Amino acid sequence: MPDTPRSSWRERRPDWLTTPVLTVAVLSVASGLAQFSVTTVIGDVAAHFGEPGVGDELTAQLGLPATTVGVALALIRLSSLGSLPAAAMADRLGRRRVLLSMAGFGLSVTALAALAPSFWAYVALVALARPALSTVNALSGVVAAEETTAATRSAGIALITAAYGLGSGIVSVGRGLLPGEPSFRVVTGFVLVPLLLLPLLARRIREPKITAGHLHPEGVLGTVPRVYRGRVALLAGLTGAIALATGPGFTYLFVYGERVLDATPLLLSLLVIAAGPVGLAGILAGRWGAERYGRRATGAVAMAATGLAVAYGYAGTTRDLAVGYLVTIAASSAFAPPTGALTAELVPTSVRATAAGWMTLAGVVGAVLGLTLFGVLADLTGGFTAAARTLGVLVAVLAVGFVGLPETRGTELASLEED
């Protein structure tokens, strides 16, 4: 029987576009939607449960003190520390089982946050969901890396990054298109859609073949063998460093834009729409750079550009915010393919999910520090400009740390397995 066009396509398509990779990409969309909904509506939640007033003071504009909002966001980010043991479990139980259970839990609890009776109840619920959602995104990258070859691995990581960005864009654009000033309850409820699709997605996710015989059921959960600790620690430090800028740079977009600059929700939604193609361009640039110039050089350039873009974005005008935000989107998106490939290529299968968990943890710590410092400095100086410049320039300088990592371009994962 001759091949049909569909079967012929399945045989010819690259490994980063196979069903298992595309399915975990959909889970990454769901993770982005659920996690970014917090960023999108936190100003609405503060205004709903706080007391917005009249005047130029930040408290009057936000409804709650900037430090309170900053601490709440920091606590939500901090809760993602729980993703390390969750991701490490995938090195014991397998990728598929942990991925699906974390997706179901994270999306369900986020949906419950739509019914929160107070500001801190909302914070508690989304904080409870955050570790599971962060684990979903981390393991999606691990599965994409393990389902691809050295030549296409950065493309698989790029797909996961783009999927997460798509989820973020869906919730932001959806909020902007809703009539009037939509309730945070409606926007948070968007997560019900991927939650209902989860049983269908579960049928199309498989355990990567490379994990057979290479899972690590013993030992202390979350530990990395001594021989790999230095490189994992350095890459984790760099991942945390860039989050010093991207944490507050992304999280305060709606708060700063709407409550301080008086930008309309529609304008910010248009920015998010523009961020889609800009982020995709950044992802493609990161993939191209990772394959042509190597993982280290591409990661360093992307990190430095991210820090400088955040420093510029909070310079004081809506135009500055728009330009800085879009450049930050492009640069931080370019950071993901080379560092995602590095994470997979620095360690064997038995600790690959654990290493991904450490990257998530480092990003959380960096974002928490960035958010906390950003909010405190904003209150002390009466604005966000000084905080953004301080953290942004620091991140740009720390990008030099990539010189301490080995170059892994061209590494096949099977070559990393211990005899």
Q: What is the per-residue pLDDT across 263-281, written as a single tens digit (0 to 9) for each? A: 777 777 788 778 878 988 9
58 has a pLDDT exceeding 60: no
Whether 5 maps to a domain, the answer reads no
Q: What percent of the chain has pLDDT over 90?
A: 47
* 313 within domain boundaries: yes
Specify the pTM.
Answer: 0.82
Better-scored residue on pLDDT, 218 or 13: 13
**pLDDT (tens digit per residue) in 224-254:** 888 999 999 999 999 999 999 998 888 777 7
- Domain ranges, residue 44: 15-198+221-407
Q: Are 366 and 247 in contact (CB under 8 A)?
A: yes
Would residue 289 count as lying in a domain? yes
Per the structure, the count of domains in the chain is: 1
What's residue 144's pLDDT? 93
Going from the C-alpha of 141 to that of each of 94, 216, 313, 395, the distances in angstroms are 14, 19, 29, 24
pLDDT in tens, 109-139: 999 999 999 888 999 999 999 999 999 999 9
Average pLDDT of the chain, as a whole number:
85
Residues 27-56 pLDDT 10s: 999 999 999 888 788 878 887 787 655 444
> Is residue 419 assigned to a domain?
no
Q: Is residue 390 part of a domain?
A: yes
- In a domain? residue 110: yes
| The pLDDT value given to residue 56 | 45
Asked, for residue 213, whether it belongs to a domain, the answer is no
Which of the 8 DSSP states describes residue 263? -
* Residues 6+ away with beta carbon under 8 Å from 409: 150, 290, 291, 294, 295, 341
184 domain-assigned:
yes
Q: 353-393 pLDDT, tens per residue?
A: 999 999 989 988 888 888 788 877 777 777 778 888 888 99
The pLDDT, as a whole number, for residue 320 is: 85
CA distance 119 to 213: 47
For the stretch 71-75, contacts whose Cβ atoms lie closer than 8 Å and that sit 24 or more positions apart, written own/partner, are 71/372, 71/375, 72/42, 72/119, 72/120, 72/123, 73/38, 73/42, 73/251, 73/371, 73/375, 74/367, 74/368, 74/371, 74/372, 74/375, 75/123, 75/127
Q: Which residue in this structure is represented by tokens 């400088």?
A: 308
Tell me which residue of 283, 397, 368 sits closest to 332, measured CA to CA. 283
What amino acid occupies position 121? A
- CATH number of domain containing 251: 1.20.1250.20
Note the pLDDT tens digit of each residue in 307-359: 999 999 887 788 888 889 999 999 999 999 999 999 999 999 989 999 999 99
Is residue 218 very low, low, confident or very high in pLDDT (cuts 50, 70, 90)?
Answer: low
- Asked if pLDDT for residue 403 goes beyond 50, the answer is yes
